[in-house]
Structure 1
Amino acid sequence: MGACLMDLIQNILNVIVPPLMIISLFIVYPLYLIYKLLHFIKRLITSENVAGKVVLVTGAASGIGEQICYEYARRRARLVLVDITDDLLGRVVRNVRSFGSPEVISITADVSKEDDCKRFVEEAVKHFHRLDHLVNNAGIARVKLYEEIKSFSDFSYVMDVNFWGGAYATHFAIAHLRKTRGKIIVMASSVGWYPFPRFSFYNASKAAVITFYETLRTEIGNSNIGITIVTPGLVKSALSQTEPAKSALGCIPMASPEQCGKAIVRSACRGDKYVVEPSWVNSLYLLKVLCPDLVESCNRFLFITSNKTAPPINGLHKALVSADHKSD
C-alpha cells in the first residue's frame, strides 16, 4: 500500500512540477537577471587587490599554470609554486621575480599523493604565515579511444591528479583560507560538460571536479571562501601540439596560455564563480543542452570517423605530467 501511494505521488509530481517550473521561471528570471547585472557591476568595482597576499599555484612550471603565476606576479602577490618537475620550476621562479612578485618559493611535489599535498600547504603557511589564494591547476591528460584501452591502470593517474590532487590540497588549505577569507581557483575544463571523443577519462575527471567544487561551494558558503571554477576551451600547449593530439583535436581554434592566465586571475580577483575562456565556448554548452543528439552526431562524424586512423597517445613524458592542463 505504501509503495503504491509513493508511486502515485511521483506520478502526480511528474505532471505538475514541469509546468510549475516554467511558470516560476517566467516570473523569477527577469529579477534574477537584474540581480546578476548588479552583482557583476559590484564585482567590477570591488576587484581584490592581491599585492602582498600569498598565492599557491599547483602545476606552476608550464602552460596555463605558468601564466597564472606571471599574472599574479604582475599584481605583486607573493607566490608558492608547486610542480612535479623540479628542473622547470627554476626558470618560472626567476621570471616571477622579474615580473614583480616581492617573494616566491618553489616546492616539488606530486599532487596525486595526499602526503605531498599536506606538505606543500604546510610549507607555504610556515614560510608566509598565511594563505590567500589556492589555485588547483595541476592536471594531465591521456588521449585514446575507449575501446583501444588495454590497461585501465594507465588511466587511473588521470583521476588521481585531476580530481584527487585538487581535493587533497583543498582539504588541507581550507582552515587557512577561512582565516583570510581567501579564494579557491580550480581548473576544470569545458569537456567536463561537453563530450569530447578520445578524452573519456579526462572528461570524466573534469566533470567530477566541476560537481565537487559546486557542492563544496554550498557546504562552505558561510565561511567566506570564494570558489572560482575555470572551464577553458582548447589551449595551445606542449601536449596539444604533438602529432597524435593534433589528429585527435582536429582544427579546433586554440587560445593562448597567456590570454587564459590573464582571464583566470582577473576573474578570480573579481570573485567570479565561473570562468570560460575563450568566452565563445559557452555557446557549446547551450548547444549541448538544447540539441544533445545533434552534438553527439557531429562529434561522431568530425572527431571519431574522420580520425579513426589517428595514432593514440600511449604515454606522457614526465615533463608533460607537470600538471598544466596541456590538453585544455
Structure 2
Amino acid sequence: MYEACFNNSFTNELVYYVLLLLLLLISPFLFVWELIVAVRSSFRRSENMSGKVVLITGASSGLGELMAYEYAKRGANLSIIAIEEPESRLEQVAHTARELGSPDVLFLFADVSKVDECRMFVEETVKHFGQLDHLVCNAGIGPLYSIDIDVTKFVPSMDINFWGSVYPTHFAIPYLRKTKGKIIVNASAAGLLNPPKLGIYSASKAALISFYESLRYEVSPTVTIAIVKLGFIKTNFISAKHSNNTTGVRLRRDIDTEIPAMGADACAKAIVYGVCKGETSITQPRFIKAIFLMKFLFPELYRLYNKYIDSTFDKLRKG
C-alpha cells in the first residue's frame, strides 16, 4: 500500500521531511512530557538498599570503585570483581566500602571475558549472600583506534566490553528474577555517537545498547534494566597515562584538558541515585542528550561536531 511512496525518490524524501517537521512541531509537547516524567521520578520513593546484594564488575578503580562506595553508604552488601593484577586495589576498595557502611563485602578476582569465570563469581556471590539484587556490568577498556595499528590488538575490547557484560548477565538472570532485581550496564554515549578514534570502543558499546534494549523486553517486568550512557568522565580512563598503557593511540595530554568532562564522584552518585529511583536510561553529563538529538535530527551539524572532536584528539596526540 505504501510501497509507491518509497520507490519514488521525491516522495521518499518528502515523507522524511514531513515526519521531521511534525516531530519538530510536537517537540514542545514532548519536552513538557519529559519534564513531567522527570518531576514525577524525583518524587518516586528510592529503593532501600539496606541488606541487599550488589555485584559490581571492574570495581578496583574508576566508576566501579566509586559506585561500590555509593552502594556501601546505602547499606548494601557488595560483591566486587576485578582482574587480578599486581597493582590491583580491590582488597583496599573492599576495606573502604566496609568503613562506609557495607555490612559485608566479598571481593573476587576474575576475567570477565572468560565465561567460566563469570559463572564462578555469580555463583560464589549467591552462595555467600544467598541472593543477588543488583548486577552492575561496569568492566571495560577503551583503547583509541587507528588504522595504522594491527587490528587484532583490539579484539579484547569486544571480549571485555561486550561479552564481559553479557556473560555475567546470562548467569545472574535466574537469581535476579527471584529478587525482582536490576541489571545496570555501563554502555557509554559513544555507543550512539561514534566519536573519532573510538571506533572499536564505540562498536562494543553499541552492541551492548542493542543487546540490553532487546533483552529488557524478555525479562521485564520481573527484572529491570538500566542502560547508562556516559560522556567523558574524569577517571584514569581519559588520561594520557592510560592511553600509553594500551595498544591503541598514545596521547600526550589528558582528554579533559580539551574536552569537557564530568567529575567521577558526581557521576557515580548520579548513576546510583538514578538506579535506586527506578530510572531505566541514565545519561551523564545531561547535555549529552542534546548531542544525541543533534546526531539524528541534524546529521550535517553533527559531522562538524565530530570534525572538532577529531582535530582535538590530534592536538592531544601532538601535545
- TM-score, normalised on structure 2? 0.85
Root mean square deviation, CA, Å: 3.0
CA distance in 2, matches of 1:214, 1:130: 25
Correspondence for 2:288: 281
Correspondence for 2:139: 138
CA distance in 1, matches of 2:269, 2:284: 10
Q: How does 1:192-271 map to 2 (within 5 A)?
A: 192-222=191-221, 224-242=222-240, 244-245=250-251, 247=253, 249=255, 251-271=258-278
Q: How does 1:12-91 map to 2 (within 5 A)?
A: 30=29, 34=33, 37-38=36-37, 41-42=40-41, 44-85=43-84, 87-91=88-92
Q: What is the letter of the counterpart of residue 227 of structure 1?
A: I
CA distance in 1, matches of 2:273, 2:105: 20
Residues 221, 25 of structure 1: alpha-carbon distance in 2 compared, 3 angstrom cutoff: farther
SS at match of 1:141: coil
CA distance in 2, matches of 1:302, 1:119: 41
Correspondence for 1:106: 107
Residues 124, 242 of structure 1: alpha-carbon distance in 2 compared, 3 angstrom cutoff: same
Correspondence for 1:323: none
Conserved? CA contact 1:239–1:245, under 8 Å: no
In structure 1, runs of 5+ residues without a counterpart are: 313-328
Q: Deviations over 1:228-277 (max 9, x none)?
A: 11111111122322263465836012212211111110000011011111
CA distance in 1, matches of 2:19, 2:295: 24
CA distance in 1, matches of 2:304, 2:28: 32
Correspondence for 1:94: 95
Correspondence for 1:300: 307
Q: Deviations over 1:87-143 (max 9, x none)?
A: 311110110000000011001000001111111000001111100000000000111
Q: CA deviation at 1:74?
A: 0.1
Q: CA deviation at 1:311?
A: 6.8
Residues 178, 28 of structure 1: alpha-carbon distance in 2 compared, 3 angstrom cutoff: farther
Correspondence for 2:124: 123
CA distance in 2, matches of 1:20, 1:291: 14
SS at match of 1:207: helix
**Identity percentage of aligned residues:** 41
Conserved? CA contact 1:197–1:304, under 8 Å: no
Residues 242, 123 of structure 1: alpha-carbon distance in 2 compared, 3 angstrom cutoff: same
Bigger shift: residues 274-283 or 22-31? 22-31
CA distance in 1, matches of 2:312, 2:63: 31
CA distance in 1, matches of 2:38, 2:307: 40
Conserved? CA contact 1:229–1:273, under 8 Å: yes
Q: CA deviation at 1:33?
A: 5.1
CA distance in 2, matches of 1:263, 1:246: 30
Q: CA deviation at 1:306?
A: 6.8
Correspondence for 1:316: none
Q: CA deviation at 1:17?
A: 6.7
Conserved? CA contact 2:75–2:102, under 8 Å: yes
Residues 311, 216 of structure 1: alpha-carbon distance in 2 compared, 3 angstrom cutoff: farther
Conserved? CA contact 2:193–2:292, under 8 Å: yes
Q: How does 1:150-165 map to 2 (within 5 A)?
A: 151-165=150-164
SS at match of 2:262: coil
